Amino acid sequence: MFNKENTVFILVDVQGKLAEIVYKHEELRERLIQLIKGLKLLDIPMVWLEQYPEGLGQTSKEIAKHMPENMQPIPKMTFNACENDQLVQELSKMNRKQIIIAGIEAHICVYQTAVGLTSLGYEVEVVQDAVSSRTKENKQIGLEKMKSYGMRVTSVEMVLYELMKAADTSLFKKILPIIK
């Protein structure tokens, strides 16, 4: 099971026009906002990635405004973000081994980054209702292939409850309205 002390969240490439044309993009946006808000309340460190921002544009404003204020996205050109020294160094500084990953596209950057993280020794969980691709089929293929590499699949609600551990806390009362 994942725990608060050992977990990091990675947001992958929810940018520009692509963020508006992926499969069920409105649901994706809602789930990502719920996830980010909940993880912030849980004090989970975050890493924010952007694929070729000069060409694809910046992170969707609806998502970016919920990311921690003191954080800037890490630009990348590789589909596997683990080939980016800045990401590897950032994760190394955090000294945590459990990664929650979400974003787009499930079958390209999310998939390749998740595989890269696994090869670096991280335990990776993909948030199924917070990833997408341009087509439903490519989302499914990406999720299936990630599972074949040993990654587990979770949901926004499941991972937040897993990290909370109990309902008898003030944290539960703050997170409950986010996921309902």
Report which secondary-structure segment, H or E, holds 33: helix 25-41
Predicted pLDDT at 134: 98
Is the link from the previous residue into 105 a cis peptide, with omega within 30 of 0? yes
- Higher-confidence residue: 143 or 169? 143
Residue 63 has pLDDT above 90, yes or no: yes
Domain ranges of the chain: 4-179
Predicted pLDDT at 153: 97
Predicted pLDDT at 180: 82
CB 99 within 8 A of CB 90: no
CB 127 within 8 A of CB 158: no
Phi and psi (nearest 5°) for 153? -110, 140
Predicted pLDDT at 130: 98
What mean pLDDT, rounded, does the chain reach?
A: 96
Percent of the residues in the chain that have a pLDDT greater than 70, as a whole number: 100
Beta bridge partners of 29: none
What is the reported pTM? 0.97
Q: 4-179 belongs to which homologous superfamily?
A: Isochorismatase-like (3.40.50.850)
**For 164-173, what is each residue's pLDDT tens digit?**
999 988 899 9
Residue 59 has pLDDT above 90, yes or no: yes
